[in-house]
Structure 1
Amino acid sequence: MAGSVSIRHAASPRGWEAERRRAFLFGLAPSLLILGAITLVPAAALLLISLTPLNLVDPAGTFRFDDPLVNYRQLLDDPRFIGSLWVQVRLSLSSVTLQLALGLAIALLLNANSRVLAAIRSVFLIPMVLPPIVVALIWKILYTPDVSPLHRALEQIGLPLRSLIANPDTALWAISIAETWQWFPFTMLMVLAALQMIPDEPLEAARIDGANRWQLFRYIVLPYIRPVLVVCALFRLIDSFKAFPLIYVLTNGGPGTVTEVTNFYGFIQAFNFSYWGYASAIAVVMLLAVLAISWSISRFKGSDGNERHD
């Protein structure tokens, strides 16, 4: 009898743990179903359509799978698609680099416990909370010479400036500047949080040893915040694929195709030419690129955590 009681007592914690796990999964199931419905189902539909020659002019091709990879083969031979990839790379690299540099610089300036600086930080957050279309309209006004206060001020001092968004040499940079203005507060906030977590002891020890500000930043501050900068860069790199509102309002992909990034080219194929199968293939390629970047973020976080644990 005593043995059976002890076995029952030993088994009850495992039974309770199994019940707890089942209750947890039962409570989580509705969220997983909704998440799957709004993410996996559209993604599967996108992949399915990309394997068809769907064209609104010929709806009969919706479920024709006689040559499922035809759209992807055409992508490899499409110079406009290859050019859009290069434009996307240039826009992403320029905007992410500017966002990191500006966010880091302002975070270093605002890294102090002060009510005035706290208020200034709140002001810097305004661009990030504005809707993308509002940001695009603001910069459309700034870049239009007839109504731009910036252009008028430059004319008053004898420095007239051509429209940056109408010049093929500057149009992409103009979009990159607008993108940087909207999203550098993200990097600023992340870096500020990292700066405020740096312990005071190594900084004080370095000051006692005679280190100047540049040496403090290079040998102490930068190693502490480097993981945060890398994560910020990866996240902003993913978001740089979503610069569609700025491009649509500011340049509409022009002049010519100098600002036609990949998602805008897919938009043209789908809604201007009605090639939905081909546009879906473009979207799938972009989705795979974003998933690869997301995977790199998870790998970086995992390796960073392992290093810190060691």
Structure 2
Amino acid sequence: MSTAPLPSLTWASQRQRAFLLGLTPSLIALAVVTLVPTLVLIVVSLTPLSMTNPAATFRFDDPLVNYRQLLHDTRFLDSVRTQLKLSVASVTLQLAIGLGLALLLNGKSALLRGVRTVFLIPMVLPPIVAALIWKIIYTPDISPLHHALEAAGYPASSLIANPSTALWAIAAADTWQWFPFTMLMVLAALQTIPDDPLEAASLDGANRWQLFRFIMLPYLRPVLVVCGLFRLIDSFKAFPLIYVLTDGGPGTVTEVTNYYSFIEAFNFSYWGYASAIATVILVGVFLLSWLVGKLGWNGHDAD
């Protein structure tokens, strides 16, 4: 009894198989460094794990106790509100300043290229170095800014020691470090805008605002959405600035959610509760990113 020969693999299937084989090691490594820690975080959040009670490590008799406690934890709820204020302020400023500077620096001259390079310096600094720079700026005894204000007859108290200005001082420092990211992305997008629509609109009498509003902005909107998503996610990681500048104070006015999780884990050893806070942050970032992306892309499609 003869059997028909098996058909040989097509070129497309061979290429797909090669791609999968090449990606497998990277996917395994990605799973190990992302999925495994995330699963551990979620599992720990379902336990009352505490360094003062190691026996509770694998106790799951009431897995939602930490999450129920969060609903009644006023300090946690205040930290969420503080985080939202910081995120909205810093992301809005970074998008506005980055967009404005990109429009001003959009050109091909050597001078503009040099200026753009200078503006990129804050972004390449390690976060702890940026935090130390702003610690010096906000400390009246050694701050060049405070000395200049005093010389001009406008003495000012420390912004990070004032409860009404501490959070906005952190937002300013975060904006200074990360607005170059938006500027760089928008500059790259501006280079892709064709000249023909701009020249045609100019010949028809359109002013600069109309050129920006009706021609340039539709091209830039997808880039701004991506920048907003990246900066929104990173705004939840402003830990170095808060740790160096205010340590969550004065009081708890700059205590954002991840900093509160740090305090619960390393000051009070409530690792299970801190893991629940971190899990809520993770879910919240996903939901906010999905919402911003959906609204941004829908707005782009509507045009």
Normalising to structure 1: TM-score of the pair?
0.91
Query: Is 1:12 equivalent to 2:3 in the alignment?
Result: no
Q: Is the 8 A contact 2:229 2:293 kept in 1?
A: no
Once the two structures are superposed, what CA deviation does each residue of 1:125-180 show, in whole Å capped at 9, x if it has no partner?
Answer: 00000000000000000000000000001000100011000000100000000000
Question: Which residue matches 1:172?
Answer: 167
Distance in 1 (alpha carbons) for counterparts of 2:23 and 2:102 = 39
Indicate how the Cα distance of structure 1 residues 230 and 17 shifts in structure 2: closer, same or farther if over 3 A, else same. closer
1:206 aligns with one of 177, 201, 213 = 201
Letter aligned with residue 205 of structure 2: G
Residue 28 of structure 1 and its aligned partner are, at CA, apart by 2.0
Question: In structure 1, which of residues 228, 233, 248 is the aligned counterpart of residue 228 of structure 2?
Answer: 233
2:152 maps to which residue? 157
The corresponding residue for 2:255 is: 260
Check whether the contact 1:132–1:245 (CA below 8 A) recurs between aligned residues. yes
Partner of 2:50: 55
* Equivalent residue for 2:176, pick from 143, 157, 181: 181
Question: For the structure 1 residues 158 and 301, does the alpha-carbon distance in structure 2 shift closer, same or farther, using more than 3 Å as the test?
Answer: closer
Q: 1:138 aligns with which of 110, 133, 138?
A: 133
- Secondary structure of 1:201 counterpart: helix
Q: Equivalent residue for 2:269? A: 274
Identity %, equivalent residues: 68
State the shift of 1:233 in Å.
1.0
How many residue pairs get matched?
301
Distance 1:252 1:280, change over 3 A: same
Contact 1:151/1:160 (<8 A) preserved: yes
Q: CA deviation at 1:298?
A: 6.7
Shift of 1:272: 0.4
The letter of the residue matching 1:119 is G
Q: CA deviation at 1:24?
A: 2.8
Post-superposition offset of 1:23: 3.3
Under a length normalisation based on structure 2, what TM-score does the superposition of the two structures give? 0.93
Structure 1 position 302, deviation (Å): 7.6
Q: What is the SS of the residue equivalent to 2:161?
A: coil
Larger CA deviation: 200-209 vs 53-62: 200-209
Determine if the alignment matches structure 1 residue 67 to structure 2 residue 62. yes
* Distance change in 2, residues 1:292/1:181 (3 Å): same
**2 CA distance for matches of 1:299 and 1:98?**
21
Instruction: Identify the match of residue 222 of structure 1 among 211, 217, 223.
Output: 217
Q: Tell me how far apart the structure 1 counterparts of residues 20 and 207 of structure 2 sit (CA, whole Å).
A: 55
The partner residue of 2:91 within 89, 92, 96 is 96
Look up the match of 1:111.
106
Q: What secondary structure, in the 3-state scheme, does the structure 1 residue paired with 2:220 have?
A: helix
Segments of structure 2 that go 5 or more residues without pairing to the other structure are none
Aligned equivalents of 1:301 and 1:94: distance in 2?
Answer: 18
CA deviation after TM superposition for structure 1 residue 22, in Å: 3.2
Counterpart position of 1:80: 75
CA distance in structure 1 between the aligned counterparts of 2:76 and 2:183, rounded to whole angstroms = 34
Distance apart, 1:224 and its partner CA: 1.8
For 1:289, the equivalent position in structure 2 comes to 284
Deviation at 1:300, TM superposition (A): 7.0
2:149 alignment partner AA: L
The verdict on how the C-alpha distance between 1:204 and 1:21 changes in structure 2, with shifts beyond 3 A counting, is: closer
Counterpart position of 1:36: 31
Q: Which amino acid aligns with 1:193?
A: A
Deviation at 1:216, TM superposition (A): 1.3
Q: Which moved more, 1:191-200 or 1:27-36?
A: 27-36
Deviation at 1:292, TM superposition (A): 2.5
Preserved contact between residue 95 and residue 176 of structure 1 (Cα < 8 Å): yes
Question: Which amino acid letter does the alignment assign opposite residue 249 of structure 2?
Answer: G
Q: State the one-letter code of the partner of 2:267.
A: N
Give 2:119's match in structure 1, choosing from 124, 133, 136: 124
Q: Root-mean-square deviation (CA), in Å?
A: 2.2
Distance in 1, matches of 2:155 and 2:98, equals 30
Shifted more, 162-171 versus 224-233: the winner is 224-233
Matched-pair contact (CA < 8 Å) for 1:231–1:297: no
Give the Cα–Cα distance (whole angstroms) in 2 for the partners of residues 194 and 177 of structure 1. Answer: 25
